[in-house]
Structure 1
Amino acid sequence: MATLAKAPTKSTYRMSHAELIETAAYLEVDPTGLDTEALRAEVKRVGEARWTEENREAIEQWNAWEKSHGSPLDRYRGF
């Protein structure tokens, strides 16, 4: 009987250095003095903060809707 290999639990894609520098420039992150891993962490932090800010209104609207109507998935919960 054949078995399937376990799928990796984390994404294996990593930006190339050129993509990282391009993304840092887009996010206005200064790469000066940062090694690659520190730059990756800063790009991730700034990108997540920007996404949250750009989507704040939609998040607030969804939270308000869910507060008044309940979660649309409540009927599937067994707890």
Structure 2
Amino acid sequence: MSAPRRATNISLNSDLLEQAKALGINVSRACERGLAQQIAELRDRQWLEENREAIQSSNAYVEAHGLPLAKNRPY
């Protein structure tokens, strides 16, 4: 992530925080990775939902007509 880092306050489960500290986990980096993963997952779900109709249409076409260039496949 190339954006500058900015200090923020968050509330965490105290048991998890203590375990993380005991294990030497960089809590800021771990939170950052988790947040980035959540953002990516949500964006993926949003993209699928926004494109669901086009994907279904494409799948229906292939099911009805086969792959457009299937005759050119060597296998």
User: TM class, shorter-chain normalised?
Assistant: 0.5 to 0.7
For residue 16 of structure 1, report the CA deviation from its aligned partner.
2.6
TM-score of the two chains, using structure 1 as the length reference = 0.57
User: 1:77 maps to which residue?
Assistant: 73
4+ runs deviating over 2 angstroms: 14-18, 31-34
Ranked by relative contact order (alpha carbons within 8 Å, sequence separation 6 or more), the top structure is 1
In structure 2, do the counterparts of structure 1 residues 47 and 17 end up closer, same or farther at CA, with 3 Å as the change threshold? Answer: farther
User: 1:16 maps to which residue?
Assistant: 3
State the AA in 1 paired with 2:43.
G
Which residue, out of 24, 34, 48, partners 1:52?
48
Structure (1 or 2) with the larger CA radius of gyration: 2
Mapped partners of 2:11, 2:68: distance in 1:
47
User: 1:41 maps to which residue?
Assistant: 37
In structure 2, do the counterparts of structure 1 residues 15 and 45 end up closer, same or farther at CA, with 3 Å as the change threshold? Answer: farther
For residue 75 of structure 1, report the CA deviation from its aligned partner.
2.0
Tell me the matched-pair count. Answer: 54
| Unaligned residue ranges in structure 2 (runs of 5+) | 13-29
More helix by share: 2
State the AA in 2 paired with 1:60.
Q
In structure 2, do the counterparts of structure 1 residues 51 and 76 end up closer, same or farther at CA, with 3 Å as the change threshold? Answer: same
| Unaligned residue ranges in structure 1 (runs of 5+) | 1-13, 19-30
